[in-house]
Chains A and B, each alone.
Chain A
Amino acid sequence: MSRPMRRRAAIGVVASIAVSALALTACSGQASEAPVEEAGPVTLIVGGMPAATDEAALAIFNDKVEAFEDANPDITIEGSEVKYDPTTFAAQLAGGTLPTVMGVPVTDIQALISREQIKDLSAYYETSDVLKTLNETVTANVQSTDGDYYGIPISAFTLALLVNRAVFEQAGLDPDVALESWDEVAEAATVITDKTDAAGLAQLTSKNQGGWTLTALSAAFGGLIQETEDGVTASTIDNEATADALQFLSDLRWEEDALGANFLLDFDAAGPAFASGQYGMMVGASEWYNPIVRNFAMAPEDFGLFPLPQDDDGLGSLGGGSVAIVRADATDAEAAAAVKWTEFFYLNRFADMEFAAEEAASQAADGGTVPRVGLPLVSAEAYAEYLAAIEPSINVPLENLETYYSAARSDDFAVVTEPPVEAQQVYGILDAALQAVLTDQNADIDALLAQAQQTAAAIVDGAQAK
């Protein structure tokens, strides 16, 4: 599956996690100075408050609110259970019911920027000691094409190969030895299909998640679906790597019959099926350990995580995560308070080890996963210190995830950012191409990609022309 090296310029950001030195140990946990004049008391509505039925989580939240208000007497926090929902975001924003600050997926932030629905926070990146220390790999996700910052990263992950260790063992495979190439993945999927009742690999195909995972496979095979040069982004879907990725999946579907029978699959369907042993592997977010174990009742010891295999020209693993954003019509004082709150609520655990230990103990008591699985927001050293502090509360069998974490710590672990222009629309276009390949044995991959390129190019060009 090798191919000539192609231009890697303007690949968004392909960066090394381990190399990036995050001196978050220097974080004070204190709020940054706002770059604007603050005027009087501020009431801040913060999203993502746990529901009343989740008593333990709500107690932790309320404790944090109390501590924050003690440290910032001019700021009053009002919790809101509202979480990000793209179908209601604009209406809530217009109706005034959207929290002032809330978390959104990285995938959607560029669209929110282009629609001018969130506030520019660049000024705080210049003044905040905390934000200055954040890893560029992570903060690149919240930058517009002009380089301005529109959010604060609060969690991060890369796409990875999720493994059902029980199914692996049933098939006679070793779940402690990472699969290092796509050929090995295909071989393992075939063995699982042949020797167990499970299908080898769950391939997401709907609700734009098919396009998202195909984008990750494309990068792992050496291609990008959008490239930016001199501030102008172009759609590049019909590249050789994306065709190779589709051919890889087509072979698994039609030659090995190793993808199961459902080809309208999203995480809501695939997650429980993977947890219950109906699939041996799945390409997905590394942070999906948390919902799969907690919501879908998978035994923690059955969950395994491999880094996404890279072809010879592989560019890296597609990154993602959550970002705290501030609504566009927030006042400067509200925005300053929102930044303080975000630093305190999400990043303080990496600076205040006593706080981290207490928080982890509460989360573990509530049945939550400790630590939260994903890509560390901070440097390897800072994260190691954090793990040491929460060690008594750790309930994730980290040894089963070690192949992923050790890869993430290595110097050559590269993270590819998501497409910068209208990512969801482009993922939707790729969904259709992927579904065509998996439901029609005679599907013409080159023709599908050419058609997808034509549609996507119009969207990408149109979005930038506005």
Chain B
Amino acid sequence: MKRVLSLDRVTASAIALLALMLAAAVFVPIFARHDPLAIGDVLALRLVPPFGHDASGGWHLLGTDRFGRDLFVRMMLAARVSLALGVGGSLLAAAIGTLAGAGSAWLGGIADRVVMAIADALLAIPRLVLLLVCAALWQPGLLTVLIVLGATGWMGVARIVRGEVLGVRARPFVEAAHALGVSHWRVLWRHVLPNAIGPTIVATTLGVGNAILLESGLSFLGLGIQPPRPSWGNMIAGGRDLIVAAPWVALAPGVALIVTVLAITLLGDRLRDSLAGQSAPLARQLGERT
């Protein structure tokens, strides 16, 4: 049998899909004829099915929601929020994780034990439970979700970086750098951390998909992005009681979300495979759904 779905075809499709989603998220809300937030003549506009025309003749690619707003335009406006929070949340988590992991491995002793104990404790609670508790702490909103995603997602990266730093710090070139009088922080930054960059990139890529899913979950439960600002999660929640009468309202935003997370996950998988081969236990740790 021939390799039909070769490595590069999947990667290329994933990248193309993400680029398309990003472009649509940026440009569709700018150039769309329908305002994604304004509520017009509700009775004439609401619940137009996909590919349908409303009473005033306007065409809607994916139909309209209960207030007559165009679903496709809203979905792309939501994509901005979801993509930004997914990437932002995952990057923030990676930054915190790198800092915590490198710091605790480099300092050792009590600091190491405290940081790792906290990481273990946070890993032992389902991340969603942690997110729900934290999201209830502050006013729900964009910044809250971002901070909470970062604060609950750093443990995986911290462990990876800590492991790499511990492995590398005993190597001769680190000792050589010390012997040449390079400062501790510079050795860490220039000679030790670059060794941990590969697994961290993989974890961060897969973390973006996770963060998008978690953000949508929080927004679905009403603890994330608040309407009228659309996010995929709160759009699905908005169509929840219409699931029988107008299923497209809830289902369409989910399709956008699935396509995005699918592309990110396939991309992350490829990165991981090319990084570690298929058998490395480190690679296995990456990408557990939390």
**Chains A and B bind each other:** no
Q: Which A residues are within 8 Å of any B CB, using their own CB?
A: none
